[in-house]
Amino acid sequence: MVKLFKKQNLQNHNTSMSTAMTLHDLSVENLDIFCWCNNCGHNNVIGTKKIMDKLGKNYPVPKIGYKLRCRKCNNTDNISTRPNWPNHKGQLTRHM
């Protein structure tokens, strides 16, 4: 049996892993934000500067999804975000 998690349930979970990439880190690397809706699969790329002006330079990239709404299904509680890594002529991940 597969157990599904909602991001809200994991929000306060602390791990011993390294800290998350911030908006400042993305701007230094000249990367934008890739976001996708875990409910309907809709995805989009958002400019880092636009979000950094609203949330501040130290805001962690994985938590940006808590501030977004899917244009397709209006989902607000299950959106994931990550750096928009450059395309290296191949699919890096598949989101369903």
Q: What is the mean pLDDT of residues 28-53?
A: 93
54 burial (CB, 10 Å; 0-12 / 13-18 / 19+) is exposed
User: Could you report the per-residue pLDDT of 22-32, keeping only the tens digit for each?
Assistant: 999 999 999 99
pLDDT of 5 above 60: no
**Whether pTM exceeds 0.75:** no
SS3 content of the chain, % helix, strand, coil (to 5): 25, 15, 55
Confidence class for position 96, pLDDT limits 50, 70, 90:
low
| pLDDT above 70 (res 59) | yes
